[in-house]
Structure 1
């Protein structure tokens, strides 16, 4: 049997954190080696798998160096400010990083890229295997439908999501724009209200829905004369993100540095 992948989970008491811990404990080739939560969390000092009614022997803690002392990898689905703090310590300790956090500024993305010179990082706005296959399909569709089709992206998430549009929707827009030879920053339209005038055919529109417990729905519409093509992905469980994250861990077993995406993990480049 191959060596166990020793994994720490950031934000371990959140919805995604719980899903990640459950996935790590269920995987034959993975070992939970650390569980991190914010300072002041009532879960500090408690076994990280207590929510499952079992003991993992890993205690939830807020001190980063202590929480990462036995880990080879950190999976991070938190918020940009938290991820950046984790990045600095991972770089110092040589811990490889899987980043599912979204909403980074260009400056923060540059810091992550700089850190990847020292540690191996997989960073993706969506760790779902299905979503990343959809991104490949969107590239193909955009190239084939480059003339005479208006493009709109609609996404829906739960009421607790703090950034909009979602990182996945933005990634879909980037893939489509790149395939069309456009700059998303120049052609994206993020909201419409009032008398907007006729639609500019060179734009890519985004619409955001927030409510309930929607895990994540994304639809890209290519709308032409007499027909409409829709490419849709719907997540019914965060388990898909957790399983994609473990595939990213396994991919990172080989490289010692570098910045990778899920297309690298899945061999889609």
Structure 2
């Protein structure tokens, strides 16, 4: 049994990777590709509808799973259209705020939705391991996070860095918004004990590096995840699409639900 796929932003960096991997997978069928107006040429595949209007496309591909790695506002608009037409959607967009995430949960009542700021199996394994490390080390270890991405990335800090830092804060019993420090500049004084710094580096074509630091008395622990290729995230999204096609609406699914 094959899963029909619609890809948003099909001519972007991630979109092209998704298109290529979809076409190479016998269990997937590329039935639609969506791009902004004036940029819909260049994808030639039998049975694939190329368009700049998702609302017109979805009635022609009932049940097809949408994959979206675009921008927060575009992803919210997509989810609303998906809910109206009954098409499941996998969302890998980063930079969604708490209100936007809550909106996705509302749309998920109508149609199966899957959202993860990082589709990597390795990163999602870290989300399980880091809380155990936080608790084992105890409160004497200061926690920090550094993330590095390519110079074209628009949001900062990355969604993955935020998710990792949030899980570390929760493991220590902290509210993340109360302890986060996303920028340091000038004479800032001593570091508060209840603080997690998340620092951002941008440059070149780095796909994505994240390092969690634990600074303790007389020692330092660093745990780093490096993504070597966008295929890591694209493969995770396509795996999620196959899984989501068999799920029911009612909740906003995540990598934790699938793995």
**TM-score range for the pair, normalised by the shorter chain length:** over 0.9
Q: Deviations over 1:139-169 (max 9, x none)?
A: 2111112321011100000000000000000
Q: Secondary structure at the match of 2:165?
A: helix
CA root-mean-square deviation: 1.2
Moved more, 244-253 or 201-210: 244-253
| Number of the residue aligned with 1:61 | 51
**Partner in structure 1 of residue 258 of structure 2:** 265
* CA spacing shift, 1:208–1:56, aligned 2, 3 Å: farther
- Determine the C-alpha separation between the residues in 2 that align with 1:25 and 1:56: 11
Q: Is residue 31–residue 49 contact of structure 2 (8 Å, CA) maintained in 1?
A: no
Question: Could you tell me how far 1:128 is from its partner in structure 2?
Answer: 0.9
Q: What does the per-residue CA deviation read over 1:17-52, in whole Å, with 9 as the maximum and x for residues that have no partner? A: 0011111111121110110111232xx1x352x5xx
Selected match of 1:79 from 71, 83, 89: 71
Output the CA distance in 2 between the equivalents of 1:249 and 1:59: 19
Aligned residues: 256
- Structure 2, unmatched stretches of 5+, are none
1:193 and 2:185 correspond? yes
Could you tell me which residue of structure 1 aligns to residue 200 of structure 2? 208
> Over residues 208-227 of structure 1, what are the superposed CA-to-partner deviations in whole Å (9 max), with x where a residue is unaligned?
00010000000000110111
2:241 maps to which residue? 249
Moved over 2 A (4+): 65-69
CA change 1:56–1:177 in 2 (3 A) is farther
Q: What does 1:204-243 align with in structure 2 at a 5 Å threshold?
A: 204-243=196-235
TM alignment of 1:176-191, pairs within 5 A: 176-191=168-183
- 8 A Cα contact 1:72 1:96, kept in partner: yes
TM normalised by structure 1 equals: 0.92
